[in-house]
Structure 1
Amino acid sequence: MSRYPTNPPSIYAKRRAELAKRLQKQGGGVALLQSGVEVMRNRDSDYAFRSDSYFYYLTGFPEPEACLALVVPPRGDAKSVLFCRAKNEEREIWDGFRFGPAVAQERFAVHEAHAIDDLEEKLQELLANQNAVFLRLGQDDALEQAVAEVLSTLRGQARLGIAAPHAILDLSHSLDEMRLIKDKTELDTMRRAARISAQAHMAAMLAATPGRYEYEVEAELLYHFRKNGSEAAAYGSIVASGANACVLHYRANDAQLREGDLLLIDAGCELDCYASDITRTFPVSGTFSKAQQAVYEVVLNAQYAAIEATKPGARFNDPHNAAVVVLTQGLIDLKLLKMPLQEALDTRAYQRFYMHRTSHWLGMDVHDCGSYRDPSAKPQDGVSHHTSRKLQAGMVLTIEPGLYIRPGKGVPKAFENIGIRIEDDAIVTPKGCEIYTADAPKTVQDIHALMRERKKAA
């Protein structure tokens, strides 16, 4: 990830202020979040560092070994305190630039900044006489242990008139609800990430000729991600040809592309910690077979139905339900299911060929945070606690129906090993939704046109 802040610090200060308002409704206290540490890959080689999403959402601070303390009084303004690595000339020679507390305080608009080595000592000051400590419980054992030790110390100072916080509360829900509705800065970043990813998908389509290998196509994706400014892939790219496309989380990417096969590519870049997520399926030879096109158009129509159902006030499950009806009817029309539509829906017979959900939240994480359940649903009120939540403007979700036809009883030879998924990213708008990954071709006509351009360039 970038070593330098991308957005003005006021963006993150505004988010901290909003979080403080939410915590004040719970009586206030001190919220603590850490950025994470560098993790060894093997021997003395580390994985590239990527900050914890929650920490970065509130700070924009890109370095490892950092901690944010947000001190929230019951009333009034909160105080933000950043702990980060101290300046160290020798380590900077080996590992690169560090902001250090003095520069970080100014650059990231926090009220105070201290060396991370002083965290435990300063925590005693910060937590003394506070109502509660807010943590993402179960996510950071080291931080929870440090807080437990500080609380034990504070309790031993009771005769000095110092009180320890009386509660440790989970911070996740408040932050999840904030992150679920994206602000303008987030949406602009996600649109930029989508443009990069769409261009990479088109380049991969042009590169995916018979005889090449899946990993060569993956290399095209990664090249275009980095060339156009993204930090990395948002997740492990799936480049799955032929029967491999029927493996939902295929990762090997080592098979040779063959004439007549389809190629399913599920890939997206990450930009400033925000993910994109696009899937396209197309013929390696440049033209769909009759059976491939028939299945493809069922999936595409299912996606159109799901997009139509994605709008404010609709339930999260509505796009999935709309897609399932179209997919199931398509399977009946293709004679892959031999029963009436309602029976196929009631018995979920379609799950033999469509076994995943149509959507998930998208944001700083590919499967982003936020409850899918209606937060107002209470069983005692006669409302099922499984009721999915209503969509609101500013939410971002994927729309990704698919069909995966493995060889088996009742499957004609022409349909064997056809795996198709079409995935776009959607922003819920006041009147519907914006498909902001549409630059990547997905209609049969547009795919065939791009394949003809490939042939001309060969």
Structure 2
Amino acid sequence: MFDFKSRRSRVIDKLKAQGDAVAIVTDPDYVFYLTGYHGALGIEWGRPNIFIQTVDGESVLLVPLMEEEMAHRQTDVKRILPWTDGIDEEWRPHLQEYLDKYRNDKVAVDYTSIPRLVWDFIGDVIPKERISDIGKEIDRLRSVKDEKEIQVARHAGEVAVEMLKGAMKVAAPGVYEYEVELASKEAGTRHAAGLMEKYYRDVQPFNYPGIGNKQIMSSGGEITMCHHRSSMTKLVHGEPFFICHCGTAEFKNFFVGFDRILFPGDINDEAAKMLEVAEEAQKAALSRVKPGAYAKDVYNAYAEVIEDNGYPIPFRAGRSLGFSYNAWPALEKGSGAVLEEGMTFAVDGATDSDNYRTQVGDSILVTKDGFEYLTPFTKDHNALIVGK
């Protein structure tokens, strides 16, 4: 589906520019971006998936034996070296082969992501002063999306919107939060499956429509908690209900951000006034989004609205989106990152008080003239009343 060979070619260019002979990449999101391989288990299980790219063009994947067949089906990388838990030093002999080959050269790693056990193993062979970071360069490459990635981004936005529509159909006073989560995930899964059937049949059997992770949502006395998950709390008439799709709304490994405040039964005036400020902050941030803009200027526009209305700054104005929960660059204070056409962001606005917390968030694509919503959905408070 994606041109992985071209992506690897750009990494080779970066290696040449840095004077590195080989890159050793372990971050699962980076590995997927460069190869198309995404294992069922990640480093948190102690089973590292390691991608090796040499400056002379050799590409190699080290994967657990149980995932070897899947790797061959997912990637165009020809050399795939399997290893087995607890047998023959696992992945180490394969990696040692390349460390020995390049022991007199500079080696690049994804510095902020590499597991300690892999870092220590490399450090026993390659002196630390000859190890450089390739992660920042991969982040820069990933930040600008090509045409196929933008298609996936738009579809991911569709899935997020359908999730919210599904949630709104069942959300009402007296309904448990977890019941809203179930409806949201069912709606998102069904829409994702439809998109995969229509647009992505060529990549079967790796179309995974199911929506995962616990849904961020809060209501009642818990609404002031930013990352509260769906619970046994029942929605209350007149009390605002926050629902956030960060980490759940995902399509073909592309993650989006999308937040709304809903009003079970009727609008809550205090929360509605706070939400208006959050919406103005988001609007101000979006007004600065265009190619050539500085990330810090987007943040400053957002922050000015919030502070002028007497609220504390709750977080940055947004973050880059893509094949990770969180990517570079961020729309944050002092950031000199320059926005480019093809970048994708979650852009937020929020307010906090002792009684309530309100937030609005959307995913956008930077276009040649400004931006395009990936999550086009109403902010009309009357339209956000549920369970009337």
Q: TM-score range by the shorter chain?
A: 0.7 to 0.9
Alignment partner of 2:326: what SS? coil
The residue type equivalent to 2:69 in the other structure is: F
Q: CA deviation at 1:224?
A: 2.4
Q: Within 5 Å, which residues of 2 pair with 1:260-271?
A: 260-267=238-245, 268-271=248-251
Within the alignment, does 1:369 sit opposite 2:328 as a pair? yes
Alignment-derived partner of residue 261 in structure 2: 281
**Which residue number in structure 1 is paired with residue 142 of structure 2?**
179
* Aligned equivalent of 1:300, options 276, 279, 300: 279
- 2-side partners of 1:220 and 1:421: how far apart? 21
CA distance in 2, matches of 1:235, 1:394: 28
> Structure 1: 5+ residue runs without aligned partners?
1-6, 36-51, 92-96, 153-163, 332-336, 338-349, 375-385, 407-416
CA separation in 2, counterparts of 1:114 and 1:366?
Answer: 28
1:281-336 CA-partner distances (Å, limit 9, x unpaired): 02100x3144443333332232222211111222212233223333344x3xxxxx
Partner of 2:338: 390
- The residue that corresponds to 1:140 in the other structure is 115
* Alpha-carbon distance change, 444 to 124 in structure 1, aligned in 2, over 3 angstroms: closer
Task: Tell me the SS of whatever aligns to 1:115.
Answer: strand
Please give the alpha-carbon distance, in whole angstroms, between the structure 1 residues aligned to 2:374 and 2:141: 22
The correspondence for 2:298, drawn from 319, 324, 335, is 319
What is the CA deviation profile of residues 42-69 of structure 1, one whole-angstrom value per residue up to 9, with x for unaligned ones?
xxxxxxxxxx111111111122553221
Q: Evaluate the alpha carbon distance shift between residue 315 and residue 236 of structure 1 in structure 2; reply closer, same or farther with a 3 A threshold.
A: farther
> What is the CA distance between 1:98 and its match in structure 2?
4.7
TM-score by length of 2: 0.82
1:446 partnered with 2:383: yes
Question: What code does the residue aligned with 1:405 have?
Answer: S
Which 10-residue stretch deviates more, 317-326 or 417-426?
A: 317-326
Partner secondary structure for residue 301 of structure 1: helix
CA distance in 2, matches of 1:447, 1:174: 42
Query: Unpaired segments of 5 or more residues in structure 2?
Result: 42-46, 85-89, 193-207
1:116 aligns with 2:83: yes
One of 38, 58, 69 as aligned partner of 2:52: 69
* Secondary structure in 2 matching 1:209: coil
Q: 1:372, CA displacement in angstroms? A: 6.3
- In structure 2, the CA distance between the partners of 1:388 and 1:373, relative to structure 1 (3 Å rule), is farther
Of 172-181 and 386-395, the range deviating more from structure 2:
386-395
* 1:309/1:318 contact within 8 Å kept: yes
Displacement of 1:233 in angstroms is 4.8
Residues 371, 321 of structure 1: CA spacing in aligned structure 2 closer, same or farther, 3 A cutoff?
A: closer
1:121, distance to aligned residue in structure 2 (A): 3.4
What is the deviation of 1:19? 0.5
Q: Secondary structure at the match of 1:228?
A: helix
Q: Distance in 1 between matches of 2:26 and 2:338?
A: 32
* Residues 239 and 265 in structure 1, CA contact (< 8 A), matched pair in contact too: yes
Question: 1:187 and 1:200 mapped to 2: Cα distance?
Answer: 20
Distance of 1:235 and 1:361 partners within structure 2: 20
**Which structure 2 residues correspond to residues 46-445 of structure 1 after superposition, within 5 A?**
52-63=28-39, 64=41, 65=47, 66-73=49-56, 78-86=57-65, 98-99=68-69, 103=72, 108-116=75-83, 119-130=91-102, 131-137=105-111, 139-149=114-124, 151=125, 167-229=130-192, 231=209, 233=211, 236-251=214-229, 253-267=231-245, 268-285=248-265, 287-329=266-308, 331=309, 337=310, 350-351=311-312, 354-370=313-329, 386-406=334-354, 417-438=355-376, 440-445=377-382
Q: CA separation in 2, counterparts of 1:98 and 1:21?
A: 29
Q: For residue 204 of structure 1, report the CA deviation from its aligned partner.
A: 0.7
One of 25, 28, 32 as aligned partner of 1:33: 25
Distance 2:97 2:273 in 1: 67
Q: What CA distance in whole angstroms lies between the structure 2 residues aligned with 1:56 and 1:100?
A: 13
Shift of 1:28: 3.2
1:8-48 CA-partner distances (Å, limit 9, x unpaired)? 5xx1111111101011112231211236xxxxxxxxxxxxx
Deviation at 1:192, TM superposition (A): 0.9
Contact 1:373–1:388 (Cα < 8 Å) also in 2? no
Task: Classify the secondary structure of the residue corresponding to 1:366.
Answer: strand
Local SS of the residue matching 1:360 = strand
Q: CA deviation at 1:257?
A: 0.8
Aligned residue-pair number: 356
| 1:135 to partner: Cα distance | 1.4
- Structure 1, residues 223-281: CA drift from partner, whole Å, max 9, x if none? 22333336555754221113322222223633111111111101141222211111000
TM-score normalized by the length of structure 1: 0.70
8 Å CA contact 1:400, 1:423 repeated in 2: yes
Q: CA contact under 8 A between 2:261 and 2:384: conserved in structure 1?
A: no
Query: Is the Cα contact below 8 Å between 1:84 and 1:100 reproduced in 2?
Result: no
Contact 2:329 2:337 in 1 (8 A): no
